[in-house]
A and B are shown apart, each in its own frame.
Chain A
Amino acid sequence: GQNIDQPTEMTATEGAIVQINCTYQTSGFNGLFWYQQHAGEAPTFLSYNVLDGLEEKGRFSSFLSRSKGYSYLLLKELQMKDSASYLCAVRDQDKLSFGAGTTVTVRA
């Protein structure tokens, strides 16, 4: 079975940094994805980690520790448009299992 946990909600101020944690216990592991989903829209790809360590893409970074079953998504220099749900997803062969998502609200 798949068990993927992430906080339900987080609030931060414009210009600040927010870290969204994701822990997982899955029957198989072939990589971890982070997706962003704005209200009423489709999920869009943010990052992918398959090896331990930090992947940086502009204001967004993602970290993975396979031995700990742990990942985080770091959002820097928050902007109002970053208000969205952030989904952690674990790949097992060809299938993705998604966490429930973390709703991030950015306040002015």
Chain B
Amino acid sequence: DAGVIQSPRHEVTEMGQEVTLRCKPISGHDYLFWYRQTMMRGLELLIYFNNNVPIDDSGMPEDRFSAKMPNASFSTLKIQPSEPRDSAVYFCASRGLADTDTQYFGPGTRLTVL
């Protein structure tokens, strides 16, 4: 299995630009999670989906952030407009019911907003 796939691996953009991060979960997994990791705040859950439906978006910092999951094999996290404080590593993770509830993380996208 290829594991969770994320793209791009690195993104450098200027303040005010739109940023789109992409994730492909492990095939057959029905849960997908988006996290953000910073030195100051650690690893934080932003939003998660079950069977492509957003279940809890209480961790999304503000309206500039949005996430979609149009099908079981693809999800996006969009920031519009981006700000320097959004600079972080964004991880996608997926989980299937047969894995003792373990979440498997993708390699992450390192975002730098100048």
Number of residues in B with C-beta < 8 Å to the partner?
Answer: 20
Main secondary structure of the interface of B (DSSP, over half): strand
Measured between beta carbons, the chain A residues less than 8 angstroms from B45 are 95-97
Contact with B along A84-99 (1 / 0, CB 8 A): 0001000100111111
A15 at interface (Cβ–Cβ under 8 A)? no
Given A94-B55, A95-B45, are A45 and B101 also a contact pair (CB < 8 Å)? no
Q: Are B101 and A91 in contact (CB under 8 A)?
A: yes
Contact with A along B17-47 (1 / 0, CB 8 A): 0000000000000010100000000111100
Contact with B along A28-69 (1 / 0, CB 8 A): 001101000000011111001000000000000000000000
A selection of 10 A-B contacts at a CB cut-off of 8 Å is: A33-B102, A42-B91, A42-B106, A42-B108, A44-B105, A94-B56, A96-B45, A98-B42, A101-B42, A101-B43
Residues of B in contact with A (beta carbons under 8 Å apart): 31, 33, 42-45, 48, 50, 55-56, 91, 100-108
